[in-house]
């Protein structure tokens, strides 16, 4: 699948380059923008084509193409997680789109400014951007629903769970009215996660079940796999569903392997280790935790996951009465917790 996708993309690039050779300078501007889009996954090459498009657009006084090029520069910076520069270019694109009276493109700029701020943990700024986008997208229901859902995500991150549920439900209502099944599934998934955060497993399961049903219906394999994993984390709240939870984790892992998402294996092993602990299978739990830690290091996973793993392993050793190893792992857990705190302080600065 990866090979086929790459071949198709390169074929499109080659085709556009051939067309570009015979095109006028006015036509080349649009072609270079298309080349930037076709090579989006290779940021340097994409930026090079996009820059050519912008330079030609300025010379040819093509305002729509200038706006698109500036906006797309923001998209390229977002893709490489340079969110500060991404915002700078989205903000440069806004007055250009305003001159063109392109309110939908302006709403799109605000949407991506919100996403960039969210990724930089600037929650208030993210919400403010999404609200600006909402004002411009009020007649475009799919955009409105997405922006409402994004606001819900920010509130969830801020631990404003009731506000999050309010916005997710608003988004869901709109998506139901326009019969956008994929977006409905995403809304149900977000609701499931929020109810899980509120320690309301029944409500969480109801929403995750709906998300799972719709993702399977539209054959959205990646989101279906994540929903399977999400449900597996909720099921251990019910002692008679522990084996079912392990089954869901294994199904999710099978899907992740098909998708090439092998970096999720530490999470799967973590979930299974937790269930084995609840089942009183302490030796098996220790093995699963150790495997998860090994994989987390191999895939250079985030500190928070490693902290959770060492915490869990410490609890298993304590249950076994092996206090020496329990203490060793608790110390490692504390070190990662300190690292997380320092990183948060650094990010805030």
88-103: b or e for each residue (b if 16 or more CB lie within 10 Å)? bbbebbbebbeeeebb
Residue 341 has pLDDT above 70, yes or no: no
Residue 347: the pLDDT is 53
User: CB-hemisphere CA count at 13 Å for 299?
Assistant: 16
**Per-residue tokens: 24:** 């006028």
In tens, the pLDDT along 257-293 reads: 999 999 999 999 999 999 999 999 999 999 999 999 9
Residue 302 pLDDT class (50, 70, 90 cuts): confident
In 3D space, the residue among 135, 139, 97 whose CA is nearest the CA of residue 114 turns out to be 135
| pTM score of the predicted model | 0.80
Confidence of residue 83 (pLDDT cuts 50, 70, 90): very high
- Residue 310 pLDDT: 95
Give the pLDDT confidence of 193-243 residue by residue, as tens digits: 999 999 999 999 999 999 999 999 999 999 999 999 999 999 999 999 999
pLDDT of residue 345: 55
In 62-157, where does DSSP find H-type helix? 63-79, 83-99, 103-119, 123-136, 141-157
């Amino acid at each position: 699948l990866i090979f086929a996708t790459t071949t198709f993309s390169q074929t499109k690039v080659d085709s556009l380059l051939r067309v570009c050779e015979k095109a006028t300078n006015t036509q080349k501007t649009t072609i270079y923008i298309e080349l930037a889009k076709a090579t989006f996954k290779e940021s340097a090459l994409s930026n090079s084509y996009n820059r050519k498009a912008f330079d030609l657009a300025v010379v040819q006084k093509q305002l729509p193409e200038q706006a698109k090029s500036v906006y797309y520069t923001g998209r390229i910076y977002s893709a490489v997680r340079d969110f500060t520069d991404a915002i700078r270019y989205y903000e440069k694109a806004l007055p250009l789109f305003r001159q063109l009276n392109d309110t939908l493109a302006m709403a799109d700029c605000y949407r991506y400014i919100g996403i960039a701020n969210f990724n930089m943990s600037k929650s208030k700024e993210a919400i403010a951007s999404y609200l600006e986008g909402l004002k411009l997208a009020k007649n475009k229901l799919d955009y409105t629903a997405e922006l409402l859902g994004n606001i819900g995500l920010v509130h969830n991150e801020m631990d404003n769970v009731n506000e999050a549920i309010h916005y997710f439900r608003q988004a869901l209502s709109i998506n139901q009215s326009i019969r956008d099944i994929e977006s409905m599934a995403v809304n149900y998934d977000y609701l499931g996660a929020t109810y899980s955060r509120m320690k309301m497993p029944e409500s969480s399961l109801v929403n995750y079940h709906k998300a799972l049903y719709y993702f399977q219906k539209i054959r959205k394999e990646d989101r279906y796999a994540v929903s399977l994993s999400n449900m597996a984390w909720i099921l251990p709240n019910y002692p008679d569903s522990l084996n079912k939870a392990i089954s869901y984790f294994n199904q999710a892992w099978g899907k992740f392997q098909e998708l090439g998402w092998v970096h999720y294996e530490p999470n799967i092993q973590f979930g299974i280790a937790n269930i084995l602990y609840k089942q009183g299978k302490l030796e098996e739990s220790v093995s699963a935790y150790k495997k998860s830690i090994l994989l987390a290091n191999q895939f250079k996973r985030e500190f928070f996951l490693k902290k959770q793993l060492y915490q869990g392993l410490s609890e298993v050793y304590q249950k076994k009465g092996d206090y020496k190893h329990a203490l060793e792992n608790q110390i490692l857990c504390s070190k990662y917790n300190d690292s997380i705190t320092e990183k948060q302080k650094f990010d805030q600065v």
